[in-house]
Amino acid sequence: MSQKISPQFIQTSLAASLTLGFQQGSFHRHAKLKGLNLLLHYEEGCLGRCQFCGLSRSRREGPRGKTFIRVDWPLYPLDEIIMRAKGKDQIHRVCISMITHPRALEDTLYVIQRLKMETDLYISILISPTLIHQNASLEAMKKAGADRVGIAIDAATPGLFDQLRGKGVEGPHQWDHYWKVVQMATSVFGKFYVGIHLIVGLGETEKEMIEAIQKGQDMGAHTHLFSFFPEKGSPMEDHSPPPLAQYRRIQLARWMINEGLGSIDRIKFDQVGRLIDFGIDVEPLIRLGEPFMTSGCPGRDGKVACNRPYGNERPSGPIRNFPFMPEAEDIEEIKKQLEDWKDGILE
Ligand code: SF4
């Protein structure tokens, strides 16, 4: 075999590489990975030009594909990954990220089939909507063994989407098409077997972000939330992550909407689109801690399996997406972070 490319080779997140024992190391605060994230790999990389992504063709330095959502993605043989994953009870789910490449659809089907035949893991696909034009592609994934799909809308408004992923950067992606694929996916996989990824901090207001979350909810897609992190070498390396108080408010609103406890109609915003009232008493929800955990596809126990430890921040903290249930001290910390808002203090 001359080239190390998919489908025979595939990248794993650093967390997956550690959990499968390819590399040695442990997670800060003993976080346990429950979902293996895999990423197709080709010499040409991803054809997208998304300004915030470490895989983008417009990345200015370093080897492409080295980082993607903040962590390293080493490359291993698929056979070896499957062999190691088999004996790991802690792993509930595997997710294959397609990337935008002409071979991605076909190779994704191959990887799904192998995983389905050789493991008992649940299988998600983070699909590339730009490559999908008919239900048949999604039906083939379902038939091969995938039970859920994720769609990385990422930017919360059509303007930001265009500016960061579409026409503004001569990129191939289109906002309307992405949402059309969300609709196709819910018709094939079923409502709430589809998730959308949204990244907080790309320049949207809180109101715009919550509108996107509500739009997903109304279509039958939960939101898997990310906090923007400036990827080194990406065109947005100098852009700051969103203030922590803003991220906490969005986490809480997302959880409330996705759990069916509230909706945007009851949330109040100020003139600059900042959330000022959730419309329900959120104190008990904050105490639960769960709203601040990583949101993603579930595992065998119905809890989030895709917990992506430290995918959004440095382990030294502060933790944005908790890969485990926040402890009492964490909740006190979260309350303080949220109170910055009550005092009208902006970070
Ligand atoms: S949330 Fe689901 S679709 Fe998104 S990366 Fe995790 S497993 Fe994949």
Residue 345 pLDDT more than 70?
A: no
Predicted local confidence at residue 108, as pLDDT: 98
Give the tokens for residue 296. 């993603």
Contacts of 184 (CB under 8 A, 6+ apart): 132, 135, 138
Name the residue with the closest Cα to ligand 1, atom 6. Answer: 306
Give the chain as a 3 state SS string: CCCCCCCCEEEECHHHHHHCCCCCCCCHHHCCCCEEEEECCCCCCCCCCCCCCCCCCCCCCCCCCCEECCEECCEEEHHHHHHHHHCCCCCCEEEEECCCCCCHHHHHHHHHHHHHHHCCCEEEEEECHHHCCCHHHHHHHHHHCCCEEEEEEECCCHHHHHHHHCHHHCCCCCHHHHHHHHHHHHHHHCCCCEEEEEEECCCCCHHHHHHHHHHHHHHCEEEEEEECCCCCCCCCCCCCCCCHHHHHHHHHHHHHHHCCCCCHHHCEECCCCCEEECCCCCHHHHHHCHHHECCCCECCCCCECCCCCCCCCCCCCCCCCECCCCCHHHHHHHHHHHHHHHCCCCC
Where do we find the tokens 């109170």? 339
What does the pLDDT average to over 288-301?
A: 97
Where do we find the tokens 């964490």? 330
20-65 confidence digits (pLDDT tens)? 999 988 788 878 899 999 999 999 989 999 998 877 655 544 445 5
Predicted local confidence at residue 246, as pLDDT: 97
What does the pLDDT average to over 296-308?
A: 95
- Phi, psi of 46, deg, nearest 5: -85, 140
- Phi, psi of 272, deg, nearest 5: -95, 15
What does the pLDDT average to over 299-324?
A: 88
251-270 confidence digits (pLDDT tens)? 999 999 999 999 999 999 99
Predicted local confidence at residue 341, as pLDDT: 58
Contacts of 87 (CB under 8 A, 6+ apart): none
Q: What pTM, to 2 d.p., does this model score?
A: 0.94
CB of 199 shorter than 6 A to ligand 1: no
Residue 346 pLDDT more than 90?
A: no
| Rounded-to-integer distance, Cα 293 and Cα 311, Å | 12
Q: Which amino acid appears at position 111 of this protein? A: V
CB of 34 shorter than 6 A to ligand 1: no
Predicted local confidence at residue 347, as pLDDT: 41
Predicted local confidence at residue 69, as pLDDT: 53
Mean pLDDT, the chain, whole residue set:
91
93 Cα nearest atom in ligand 1 = 7
What does the pLDDT average to over 247-252?
A: 98
Predicted local confidence at residue 137, as pLDDT: 98
- Phi, psi of 111, deg, nearest 5: -65, -40
Q: Which amino acid appears at position 297 of this protein? A: C
Give the tokens for residue 118. 């050789």
Q: How far does residue 339's CA lie from ligand 1's centre (Å)? A: 31
Predicted local confidence at residue 57, as pLDDT: 59
Ligand 1 pocket test: pick from 34, 97, 124, 196 the residue with the most ligand atoms within 8 Å of its Cβ. 124
Residue 1 class from Cβ within 10 Å (0-12 exposed, 13-18 middle, 19+ buried)? Answer: exposed
199-236 confidence digits (pLDDT tens)? 999 999 999 999 999 999 999 999 999 999 988 778 89
What does the pLDDT average to over 318-331?
A: 95
Q: How far does residue 276's CA lie from ligand 1's centre (Å)? A: 30
Predicted local confidence at residue 309, as pLDDT: 85
Name the residue with the closest Cα to ligand 1, atom 2. Answer: 297
Give the tokens for residue 44. 């040409």
Residue 13 pLDDT more than 70?
A: yes
63-117 confidence digits (pLDDT tens)? 455 555 555 789 999 999 999 999 899 999 999 999 999 999 999 999 999 999 9
Where do we find the tokens 């939960």? 222
Contacts of 187 (CB under 8 A, 6+ apart): 135
Predicted local confidence at residue 29, as pLDDT: 83
Where do we find the tokens 């921040």? 313
CB 224 within 8 A of CB 217: no
CB of 224 shorter than 6 A to ligand 1: yes
| Rounded-to-integer distance, Cα 128 and Cα 132, Å | 7
Where do we find the tokens 């919360």? 156
Question: HSE (CB half, 13 Å, CA atoms) of 27?
Answer: 22
What does the pLDDT average to over 275-300?
A: 96
Predicted local confidence at residue 60, as pLDDT: 42
